[in-house]
A and B are shown apart, each in its own frame.
Chain A
Amino acid sequence: MKWVLVWFLAAATAVLLAVAWLQSGGLKQHAMFSAGTPEEAVQALMSQIQARNYEQAFASLDPSSGTDLASFTREMAGTDSSLRTYSSLQTADVSPLRADGDQAVVRLRMNWSSALGSLDDVRDVRVRRDGSVWRVVWPKPAFPTVPPQVVSVNYLSWDVIGRNSSQNWGAQDVDSPKVRITSMNAISRPGRVVILGEVENEDTVPAYLNVNATLLKADGSALEEEGSFDLISHVLLPKQVSPYRIDFPGERIDAVKSVRMDARALLVPASADPVIAVSNQAVSKDGLDRNVLKGQLVNQSGRPVNIAQVLAAYYDDSGKVIWVSDGYVDQALMPQVPVPFAVDIPDDIAARLKNYRVIVNHYSRSGS
């Protein structure tokens, strides 16, 4: 009888240990350190990154990788309150490019999900066979250093003192900023109607702006109402122009007789700093053969810009806005350091576009 108990206890212990091993990612680790193909090695690495096990992920890299644990962690986890620090790796698609004996190159497409949408990171990754195991060769990222310096900030900022709510009707107040929709174009896209255009802050004070549109039927009744959400630069300085795009999913343009536009502006405190230059813009193809508008953002102020959003407006040869696209940069913009960006362009738009203009929205944790 006692032998039954002993055997039972031993078996139970073994089962529990196995479960614990599985829970701690033992299976994944085993896969990582025994990857039989380049794709398996990259997938196993991505699994560890997805689970935020940066130490184990780093340990699985090929020794010839030029990076160190701190740089690797900083690259994957993000830094300086950038968008990457609020993101998590959702999926990783791996496709082989070429293989040659003990070396291989695979195309890795990482899809990061954040509160502001999904971000793609496409790169070609080298994999090397070490004995019977394939390991990823991960290059050291080049983190630019900002030379120590003093940057004087003498850009204008605006504060607002509004009317006291207890004051009588008719008491002096400050008006909302005057904004004007300078163009509006309604187009049909697959599965939706899209309203695009540009809006200008005609006033001499900053404006916080929202643009809404209502699609009207032939009888004048409203079909649907939508806003621009984040496809607009909400804070516009004096004389600044922003593109906007309003999507109406599920609507058809032949059901729309007219459009009623509504641009609402609020007077808000703002600063003219930071100035962000958008340099070396060009339309090209990315690693997945998609049309993109690429360029670099340069923060010309002395403080980091934690999250930057690029808004691009595309024009045809008559100067009409034919598309507006946006993208977030998942790195912080350090002062004077160029950071690349790329925003998608639909193929049919890329074929027709003659000009484009980019503006940058920004968010800085330290306040402006």
Chain B
Amino acid sequence: MKRTLGSKFELCKSMARTALLCMLPLCVLPVRASAAELHVPAIVEAGHGFSIPVADSGQASFYLVGPDHVVKRTVNLASSLQIQPSDVRAAGHYQVILCDSSSPCTSATFEVKAAAPAHLSFFLHPSRVPVSTPGSIDATAFVFDQYFNLVLTPAAVDFRITPASGAGFSRQASARDGVAWMHMDSTPHEGRVQVTAALGGVEEARVIQQVAAEACGLRMKAVASGNSVTLETDPVRDCSGNALPDGTVVSFTKIDKAGKSTVDTPIKKGIARVQLSVQGPAQVSVACGVVLGNEVALNGKL
């Protein structure tokens, strides 16, 4: 009995010794598991390289995973890891991972923010706008850096307006999350209007055309000639006095005993003219778009 107990005790001792020996590497390993801890800056400006100090030895596989870029290379852990400016051009979150064969990989993340403003994507709408129309011109500017990352830091964008006639003026709008916008009324005079968006040394210009609004006070006169009549409008203008552009369609309608006749004719050199045959008394009218002009009664004495 004593001999049995003693041999069992010896057996337990040897098993415990073996277990301890097996556990020893596990206790030691964690010290070596975070083989190369990665200390990266929290925020980096786009296009600015930096180095990651690594206090270790040997070689490892290094990965850099970014929004538009993936790098994999074998690195020597004796020297710091270099991140090139070209590796961090796109704004966003980046991940660096270091893996060696003997331990799990370690990783760290950092954020790349946009660099200084270098481009403006400038939208000016519409490209043609009627004069004297409130809130009709919209300007929107998106602020990008040289790598076309959206610059999210607040900035003041100047919109400089230069009309064809009259004094220029400017408006300022704050760019929030990379976007600045403003409304403005169209000026009373037709012609070319240039709007320039400016931020620091960055400028972008756009041109819109202010055109005459709807016809106003549309009038025509009738000039008889034999069995026909020539209908001619006065210079077709809008309510601000701007001439409607050539090519705008004016509709003439004549009603006589032969029936109804219509001609859609474009304005040429500011006026619209048409010749129609007439049989007896007739009523003629003129319209431009949805605007009606005067009516003329022809009493048949031609």
Give me the interface of A with B, judged by CB distance under 8 Å: 154-156, 158, 168-170, 172-175, 178, 182, 200, 202-206, 237-241, 272, 275-282, 295, 300, 356-359
Of the residues B123, B204, B261, contact of A277 by C-beta under 8 Å: B261
Q: A155-B266, A156-B268 are in contact. Are A238 and B247 (CB under 8 A)?
A: yes
Check A279–B289 contact: CB distance below 8 A: no
* Cβ of A112 to closest chain B Cβ, rounded Å: 26
Of the residues A168, A175, A359, contact of B127 by C-beta under 8 Å: A175
Check B128–A272 contact: CB distance below 8 A: no
For A154, A276, A279, which residue has the most chain B Cβ atoms within 10 angstroms?
A279
Check A240–B264 contact: CB distance below 8 A: yes
Identity of the chain A residue whose Cβ is nearest the Cβ of B204 in the assembled complex: A170
Q: Is the interface of A mostly helix, strand, loop or mixed?
A: loop
Give me the interface of B with A, judged by CB distance under 8 Å: 119-123, 125-128, 142, 204, 206-207, 209, 211-212, 215, 244-250, 258-266, 268, 274, 276-277, 288-290
> Which of chain B's residues have a CB closer than 8 A to the CB of A282?
258-260
Check B121–A174 contact: CB distance below 8 A: no
Q: A237-B248, A277-B262, A280-B259 are in contact. Are A205 and B128 (CB under 8 A)?
A: yes
> Which of chain B's residues have a CB closer than 8 A to the CB of A200?
289-290
Check A238–B263 contact: CB distance below 8 A: no
CA distance A358 to B253 in the complex (A): 11
Q: A170-B121, A239-B288, A279-B258 are in contact. Are A204 and B248 (CB under 8 A)?
A: yes
* Cβ of B93 to closest chain A Cβ, rounded Å: 24
Check A272–B260 contact: CB distance below 8 A: no
CA distance A237 to B120 in the complex (A): 35
The 6 A-B residue pairs whose C-beta atoms are closest, nearest first, are: A170-B121, A239-B289, A156-B247, A272-B266, A279-B261, A282-B259
11 A-B pairs (CB sep. < 8 Å): A156-B246, A168-B121, A175-B127, A204-B128, A237-B249, A237-B266, A239-B289, A272-B247, A276-B263, A277-B262, A281-B262
> Which of chain A's residues have a CB closer than 8 A to the CB of B274?
275, 277
Check A182–B290 contact: CB distance below 8 A: yes
* Cβ of B215 to closest chain A Cβ, rounded Å: 8
CA distance A206 to B122 in the complex (A): 26
Of the residues B128, B215, B250, B266, contact of A203 by C-beta under 8 Å: B128
> Which of chain A's residues have a CB closer than 8 A to the CB of B127?
173-175
* Cβ of B271 to closest chain A Cβ, rounded Å: 13
* Cβ of A340 to closest chain B Cβ, rounded Å: 12
Q: A172-B207, A203-B128 are in contact. Are A295 and B259 (CB under 8 A)?
A: yes
Of the residues A169, A173, A205, A281, contact of B121 by C-beta under 8 Å: A169
> Which of chain B's residues have a CB closer than 8 A to the CB of A279?
258-259, 261, 276-277
Of the residues B248, B260, B289, contact of A241 by C-beta under 8 Å: B289
Check B290–A241 contact: CB distance below 8 A: yes
> Which of chain A's residues have a CB closer than 8 A to the CB of B248?
204, 237-239
Check A359–B128 contact: CB distance below 8 A: no
Check A278–B263 contact: CB distance below 8 A: yes
Check A280–B262 contact: CB distance below 8 A: no
Check A170–B266 contact: CB distance below 8 A: no
* Cβ of A283 to closest chain B Cβ, rounded Å: 9
CA distance A206 to B248 in the complex (A): 9
CA distance A25 to B261 in the complex (A): 48
Sample of 16 further A-B pairs with CB below 8 A, known A238-B249, A276-B263, A278-B262: A155-B268, A170-B142, A172-B206, A172-B207, A175-B127, A178-B126, A204-B248, A237-B249, A240-B249, A240-B264, A272-B247, A275-B266, A278-B261, A279-B261, A281-B259, A295-B260
